[in-house]
């Protein structure tokens, strides 16, 4: 997992991926790296991209620039109610090869610390 909330990412891996056959690594964001370095890192080192904050332009570009061979998943809920979700059409924003994740309404990820 690669994101700006290291503790949250560790919680997700511990809760959801510890008992799977998936190799998962949590990498902290290095504050003095430029977005270009982050994008290059994702392109070279990530086999799949999961956008938990689908309205994030940084995340969108990281996924897009990762290359067409990567599997990219995005959260179908773009924001809290009355936010940008009422203004976005997924077909206008996400390439057809990206996979939408539709979580149940009561689904909760581990809280950020």
What pLDDT is attached to residue 97? Answer: 92
Query: How many other CB atoms sit within 10 Å of the CB of residue 23?
Result: 7
DSSP the chain: -EES-HHHHHHHIIIIITTSS-----EE--TTS-HHHHHHHHHHH-SEEEESSTT-HHHHHHHHHT-TTSEEEEES--SSTTSGGGT--HHHHS-TTSEEE---TT--PPPP-
CA dihedral 65, 67, 70, 72 (to 10 degrees): 40
What pLDDT is attached to residue 103? Answer: 66
**Alpha-carbon gap, residue 54 to 100, rounded angstroms:** 10
What pLDDT is attached to residue 85? Answer: 57
What pLDDT is attached to residue 108? Answer: 67
What pLDDT is attached to residue 25? Answer: 74
What pLDDT is attached to residue 4? Answer: 72
What pLDDT is attached to residue 105? Answer: 65
32-84 tens-digit pLDDT: 888 898 899 889 988 888 887 777 888 899 999 988 888 888 877 765 566 66
């Amino acid at each position: 997992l690669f994101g700006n909330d290291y503790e949250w990412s560790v919680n997700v891996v511990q809760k959801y991926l510890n008992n799977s056959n998936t190799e998962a690594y949590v990498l902290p964001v290095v504050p003095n790296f430029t977005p270009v370095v982050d994008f290059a890192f994702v392109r070279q080192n990530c086999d799949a991209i999961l956008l938990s904050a689908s309205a994030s332009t940084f995340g969108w570009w990281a996924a897009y620039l990762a290359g067409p061979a990567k599997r990219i998943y995005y959260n179908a809920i773009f924001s809290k109610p009355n936010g940008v979700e009422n203004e976005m059409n997924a077909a206008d924003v996400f390439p057809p090869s990206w996979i939408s994740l539709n979580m149940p309404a009561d689904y909760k990820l581990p809280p950020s610390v």
